[in-house]
Structure 1
Amino acid sequence: MSIKLFTNELSAVYDDSLRQMLISDFEIIQDAINEMLDNQLIIKRQQSDIKETQTTIESKIRVQDENMHELVNILTKYDVPIQIVNGKVVETEEGE
C-alpha cells in the first residue's frame, strides 16, 4: 500500500527555491508514510503467524496432556503405582 502526494503540483507563484524545498519535504514525508504503511502490513502478517503458531502449540499441549492422562489411567488399571500430581506423573507408594 502506498500514498502518492502531489509534490510537483505546487504553483509557480512561489519562488523556485521555496518550491523545491517544499517538494523535497513532501517527497520525504511521502517516503516515510509509505515505509510506515509497509511496516504495518509486515507487523500484521507477523501477528497472524504468531497467533497461528500459538494455536498450534496450544493444541499440541492439549493433546499431550490428554495422552498423559490416558496413559496414567491405563497404567493405574494394571495396578502400576502412578498418578498425576501438580501436572506431573509421579510414582506412588503401594496403597496410596
Structure 2
Amino acid sequence: MDNNNQTLATNELATLPLGHNWYQKVASNFEIIQSYLNKLDTDEPEANNLKNKFDNMSDKLNIYETNIQAIVNILSDYDVPIAIVDGKVVEIKEGD
C-alpha cells in the first residue's frame, strides 16, 4: 500500500459528530502509520549499513588523530615549536 500522498486525519477527528464514521478515519490513520512502520522494518539493513560506515569513519578519524599526535610528538622531540591546540596543529612561540 502506498500512502505517501495521504495525510492523517487529526484535527478533524475532534470536531466530528459521534454519528459520523469517525472510526473509519481513525482506522485510516492506523493504516497510514502501519505503512511507515513497515518501511522502517525493511530499512534495517540500510540503517546497519549507515552505522557500519559511521563506525568505519570514526575508526579512520581516530587513526588520523593518533598519527597527527605522533607526528607532533616527534617534531617536539626535535624542538620544532608546534603543538595541538583545540584540535589544530599550531606553531608555538619559544617559551610557550
TM-score of the alignment, normalized to the shorter chain, above 0.5: yes
Q: TM-score, structure 2 length as denominator?
A: 0.58
Where does residue 71 of structure 2 map in the other structure?
71
- C-alpha deviations, 1:45-68, integer Å up to 9, x for none? 110011000100100000000000
Length, aligned pairs only: 64
Query: What is the distance in 2 between the residues matched to 1:60 and 1:82?
Result: 23
* RCO comparison, higher one (Cα < 8 Å, 6+): 1
Larger CA Rg, structure 1 vs 2 = 1
**Unmatched 5+ stretches in structure 2:** 1-30
**Aligned with 2:43: secondary structure?**
helix
Structure 1 residue 49 corresponds to structure 2 residue 64: no
Q: TM-score, structure 1 length as denominator?
A: 0.58
RMSD: 2.1
* Deviation for aligned residue 1:42: 3.5
* Deviation for aligned residue 1:92: 0.6
